[in-house]
Amino acid sequence: MTTLTSNNPSARSAFKVDISRGERIGRVSSEWFSRPDDERFLSLSDLYDTVRSRAERAHARTIESAAIRVEATRDNAER
């Protein structure tokens, strides 16, 4: 097994990409740039921290099916 180590601290902001290396897959790039800023992660650690924080703030409740009500209105598509 090969282990890679880096003396540089993990990236916390945008960094320059060397386009002469690796593959160029347009779909990946378009998916990355179409995401909102809060869904772009420069490292797996940043992704993990965000998901863990979201999970810690999540709440789950169990309710009876009879207690569920659906409200619809033509004026507001979100409701």
What string of H, E and C letters represents the secondary structure of 7-58?
Answer: CCCCCCCCCCCCCCCCCCCHHHHHHHHHCCHHHCCCCHHHHHHHHHHHHHHC
Confidence (pLDDT) at 9: 57
Residues of the chain scoring pLDDT < 50:
none
**How is the chain split into domains, by residue range?**
26-67
Structure confidence at residue 54 (pLDDT): 92
Expressed in angstroms, the distance from the first to the final Cα of the chain is 54
pLDDT of residue 57: 95
Q: Sign (positive/negative) of CA torsion 21, 23, 24, 26?
A: negative
Average pLDDT, the chain: 79
Global model pTM greater than 0.85: no
CA–CA gap between residue 38 and residue 43 (Å, rounded): 13
